[in-house]
Amino acid sequence: MKIDRFATSLLTCLLLHSCMLPEEGGISEVPNPSPEMSQKSSVSLDKLQQGHSVYMLRCAECHQYPLPDQLDEADFIDTIPEMVRHSGISKTEGDAVLAYILAVKKL
């Protein structure tokens, strides 16, 4: 009985610890929009913030957080319209996500 409790406690601790370890490409590595990003991309900070929000909240429903600077620009430009239809986000939100990703690539 004591061994079962110990094993259960140990397993619980290990699972909780593994949830706290950041994964590569995790949320903490996705850059927040900044005035510098806005200036370098010539896109308003408001639009970049909208794109970042949609990217973080909606894209992650189906995908892990890929780092925007590691995404292939041409592939993403071709994929956005399909993702807009598939995910149910608006064209405006899709455009903002694309603007955000392209802005990150300019940093």
The predicted-structure confidence for 7-42, as pLDDT tens digits, reads as follows 444 444 444 444 433 444 566 778 899 999 999 999
The predicted-structure confidence for 36-52, as pLDDT tens digits, reads as follows 999 999 999 999 999 99
Q: What percent of the chain has pLDDT over 90?
A: 34
Cα–Cα distance for residue pair 106/37, rounded to 1 Å: 8
